[in-house]
Amino acid sequence: MKLLLYISVLAFFSLPIYAGTTVSVIYGKKTVTLNDAVGDNIIKFLSTAPVENIEGNAKDIQGKCILDGDNLENSSGNISLQVLSMKTGLSKRDEHMYAKDWLDAASYPTISFELKKLANIKISKSENGMAECTAIADGSFTMHGISKTIKATIYIKYVNETDATRKKAPGDFVMIKASFKVPLKDFNIAGKQGIIGSKVGENIEITANLFGSTK
């Protein structure tokens, strides 16, 4: 019996222990707030359809994230934009986009993404006060009153505060690029009959360029 107990204990302590990804230039948990002084925050969207392609962007963006330098997978955050800040370059088309048949801005004025965790992290640099990595951001995307799990491909650049960066804004700087696709049918956006699939793409491509600081 003692031999069996010994073998069981030995087997338990022989199991691999998961260790999160550490980033040497991020000291502990850092709260990052979007800051236009660091760079122009913008989210772009692209609809590709047989009849036409539609490009647009939104700049009224708010958000914070917490980057955990000791376990980057454990990072979290929330980004949101105002639907009425989404522009395509044609005011009449924008009015249609805000209407009840589409995004219904009156009922659902914001679109948001809540980061739950990071996965598949690959660090390309972490030295001399700067870190760069790619990852998959697992989160909940909310649009038109519906929330769905979405995975975004992201690139993160983290820069420690220096005399040079302080001239733009105080604190460490963070730059994030993200991309993912949004299937309109998953969010009960049907539009006018026959429009989706001909003039509006079934999947909307999203790209985000986000800039923030820790102070």
CATH class of this structure's domain 20-213: mainly beta
The pLDDT, as a whole number, for residue 19 is 56
- Does the pTM of the predicted model rise above 0.85? yes
| Both tokens assigned to 1 | 């019996």
**3-class secondary-structure state, position 93:** helix
CA distances from 99 to 4, 66, 124 (A): 69, 35, 44
Beta strands in 107-172 (DSSP E): 110-127, 130-143, 146-159
The pLDDT, as a whole number, for residue 175 is 98
Q: For residue 200, count other CB atoms closer than 10 A to its CB.
A: 21
**Average pLDDT of span 200-210:** 98
> Closest Cα to residue 33, out of 78, 100, 84?
78
β 29-34/130-143 pair status: unpaired
Q: How many CA atoms lie within 13 A of 10 on its CB side?
A: 6
Q: What is the pLDDT of residues 144-175, one digit of tens each?
A: 999 999 999 999 999 999 999 999 999 999 99
The pLDDT, as a whole number, for residue 193 is 87
**Phi, psi (degrees; rounded to nearest 5) at 84:** -70, -10
